[in-house]
Amino acid sequence: MLDLIRLMRPHQWLKNGFVFAGLIFSQNWGSPDLLVQVLRAFAAFCCISSMVYILNDWRDRTQDALHPVKKFRPLASGAVQTPSALGLAAALGLASFFIASLNTHAAWLLSLLALYVVMNLAYTWGLKHVPVVDVFMIASGFLIRLLAGTVAVGIAPSRWLLLTGLFVALFLGFSKRKSESFHTPEQQRAVLQSYSPALLDVLIAVSMTATLTTYSLYAISPEIQVLHGERLMLTVPLVVFGLFRYCYQVQLGKGEDVSKDLLKDPWILGAMGAWVLLFLSTKLF
């Protein structure tokens, strides 16, 4: 049972937190109905993302068995057999679509889940070997989560918020590739042969700059000023610090697993905590 849970990678469910962005930034968390809708979307994405991880591990199990680190994964090590893994994947997929069907805007959510599956299967079966395309596929998954937490539950999405989500996902994706480049050649994924250190540095810098620009423009936009006052604008320095600190972690070889690395650095956690306190505070002006 423990190996089956490991196969689902529940620690990666943190990434599905993007689903809550629309609810939080629209300040609709006081609506019980919307909260239930978003929680269902979150649960659906937890199930479908775990299904995708299982299919990815099944697809790569032979190669992973030769990898010095990945050989300990449940399928690569033989701790979980193929029938059990595929059975669990099928159950998770059915559970995801069933949960999504309960939502008021079920058609939207089901469509986004289907798109998420198609894109991830395309990534697993070939696109992960195509430079730049590989990271854009990962970033698109985060954008789909943002849309699932907005249009799929009846919340109008902000264009600036969607752009910010896209660029922060690209930043994290290229940072992941940078941290992976510190591995020994036998541990590196094949696509890294097409990324030079200088190119990765440029891509990280551009995506981080775009993230800061779009978030800042979002924070000072008239409609957001009406909704949040000056609070969101005051969080901009915290976002700048958090991204800079993450860059520091990446140059140390960290950042390969965002879900784990974000929870290990006390300075990033402190910035996140301060952001939450500012965001939840009463209007200052």
The model's pTM is: 0.86
Indicate whether 66 and 131 sit together in one domain: yes
Indicate whether 50 and 149 sit together in one domain: yes
Q: Which of 10-14, 113-117, 167-171 has the lowest mean pLDDT?
A: 10-14
Looking at 101, 122, 157, which one is the last position of a domain? 157
Indicate whether 108 and 22 sit together in one domain: yes
Q: Number of structural domains, the chain?
A: 2
272 Cβ neighbours under 8 A, 6+ residues apart = 242, 262
Indicate whether 144 and 181 sit together in one domain: no
Q: Which of 8-12, 33-37, 111-115, 262-266 has the lowest mean pLDDT?
A: 262-266
Indicate whether 162 and 278 sit together in one domain: yes
Q: What is the DSSP string of the chain?
A: -HHHHHHH-GGGGGGGGGGGHHHHHTT-TT-HHHHHHHHHHHHHHHHHHHHHHHHHHHHTHHHHTTSTTGGGSHHHHTSS-HHHHHHHHHHHHHHHHHHHHTSTTHHHHHHHHHHHHHHHHHHHTTGGGSTTHHHHHHHHHHHHHHHHTTGGGT-PPPHHHHHHHHHHHHHHHHHHHHHHTTS-GGGS-GGGGG--HHHHHHHHHHHHHHHHHHHHHHHHSHHHHHHHTTHHHHTHHHHHHHHHHHHHHHHTT--SSHHHHTTT-HHHHHHHHHHHHHHHSPP--
On whether the CB atoms of residues 155 and 23 are closer than 8 A, the answer is yes
Looking at 157, 185, 215, which one is the last position of a domain? 157
On whether the CB atoms of residues 168 and 125 are closer than 8 A, the answer is no
Indicate whether 208 and 118 sit together in one domain: no
What domain range includes position 229? 158-285
101 token code pair: 């069907």
* Residue 217 vs residue 60, higher pLDDT: 217
Indicate whether 174 and 149 sit together in one domain: no
- Work out the angle at residue 261's Cα, subtended by the Cα atoms of residues 123 and 109, and round it to the nearest 5 degrees: 45
At residue 186, does pLDDT exceed 80?
A: no
CA 36 to chain centre: 21
CATH code assigned at 17 = 1.10.357.140
Q: What percent of the chain shows pLDDT beyond 70?
A: 98
Looking at 157, 177, 202, which one is the last position of a domain? 157
Buried b / exposed e over 86-97, threshold 16 CB at 10 Å, is eebbeebbebbb
Indicate whether 179 and 269 sit together in one domain: yes
Question: What would the pLDDT profile of 223-282 be if each residue is shown by its tens digit?
Answer: 888 877 788 888 999 999 999 999 998 988 887 777 777 778 899 999 999 998 988 875
Indicate whether 130 and 269 sit together in one domain: no
Indicate whether 8 and 124 sit together in one domain: yes
CA 216 to chain centre: 21
On whether the CB atoms of residues 151 and 226 are closer than 8 A, the answer is no
Indicate whether 132 and 255 sit together in one domain: no
Indicate whether 100 and 174 sit together in one domain: no
